[in-house]
Homo-oligomer: A and B are copies of this chain.
């Protein structure tokens, strides 16, 4: 194994293309980009502890996956092609009821290497046993915002235990003092969290100055049930409870109307688009991108969990996003390649306040190298079009996060051990569930 994959040190990335220009990038030991330009190569040749030969690769900021449930990699392919309710109640929930902290650790580790292998350097996660998830993130070197999925089902005892769980988790993450890992508050959705619970989440997030991660208006049923039970549509419920803030990431948002798109923009709330999951689960409406864009809402991109996707490949997700929007709006010009690339990278970093928004001096060195020497990336009339419409995660050759090389020429340290452990966890989880 290459030394560069084992330890931190200053790095010279030679001969890459950054914003259409041939460049060299010097990354300091602090994990930030210190210099960038054509002449940086000779200047830093001797200063850098490590040198990466870029071989004319395209260098991009790492992708930011703003909505996933990472440990659900263990459930990949366990149940598909089913109606939503039996899928959840007969398949997904029984398995999740048997999840342990060790499962979440091994599932999240698998998710982390899958993301590293496909160019994602930051993700926004909501699940259970999140201390175990934090351990996986810490060890694999990726960045994440982690939230304990807060579900009180309007039961007083559950509300109290979720408050304690959330408080403990946020304290635990803060005590790690790892700049790559942030805590968020994760009220699951309006149909699983009471208004008292939502208000507590809002207040707590405000006091702690951390993000809120929530599901919003994913299905028509969610909207109809809300109107029936509360006389209000979901965004209004969230707004009344103080959940719509400029540190909130709302996932899905398929069933927003035009006024709700403006409301989110006004509140500075970020949207996580999940086109693959929405198509696979047949939610019957595409997120209204044009309305959100017109309102100037920040739209980001997420894969959702592996039970409903079934991978974490942000390049594939970008293609699905662009094509779903074109198909659903009957307009091939909507969501062009450069917009969806931004959605999958800089927009997500802005939403989470974490990671790189560009490759520039002073930015965190979250850098991926895209291989120009593969058939699906040949010829290159337009590198962004190729990336979005022709490539997939396998074109990512090298992944750097926070100035540390997590994958070099497709080699990820401990990959096999992590895969083997995940296989054992997944098998045992199914066995325990089916007994």
Judged by a CB distance under 8 angstroms, whether A422 is at the interface is: yes
Tell which of B327, B385, B427 touches A80, judged by Cβ atoms closer than 8 Å.
Answer: B385
Query: Interface with B: A6-14, A61-69, A166-174, A307-315, which one?
Result: A307-315
Contact A389 B310 (CB under 8 A): yes
Known: A77-B390, A313-B376, A390-B76. A284 touches B330 (CB 8 A): yes
Judged by a CB distance under 8 angstroms, whether A280 is at the interface is: yes
Q: How far is the CA of A328 from the CA of B281 in the complex (A)?
A: 11
Report the minimal beta-carbon distance from A137 to chain B, rounded to whole angstroms. 16
- Nearest to A84 among chain B residues (CB) is B332
- Nearest to A324 among chain B residues (CB) is B279
Contact B392 A332 (CB under 8 A): no
Contact B282 A316 (CB under 8 A): no
Q: How far is the CA of A114 from the CA of B336 in the complex (A)?
A: 24
Tell which of B310, B332, B378 touches A281, judged by Cβ atoms closer than 8 Å.
Answer: B332
Judged by a CB distance under 8 angstroms, whether A393 is at the interface is: yes
Q: A309 to chain B: which residues have CB within 8 Å?
A: 389-390
Known: A76-B386, A390-B310. A379 touches B427 (CB 8 A): yes
Report the minimal beta-carbon distance from A418 to chain B, rounded to whole angstroms. 8
Q: How far is the CA of A28 from the CA of B77 in the complex (A)?
A: 35
Contact B114 A375 (CB under 8 A): yes
Judged by a CB distance under 8 angstroms, whether A276 is at the interface is: yes
Known: A320-B323, A378-B419. 19 other contacts (CB 8 A): A76-B379, A76-B386, A77-B379, A77-B383, A80-B337, A110-B378, A113-B375, A276-B323, A279-B323, A279-B326, A280-B322, A280-B332, A280-B389, A281-B326, A310-B386, A311-B376, A311-B391, A312-B376, A394-B394
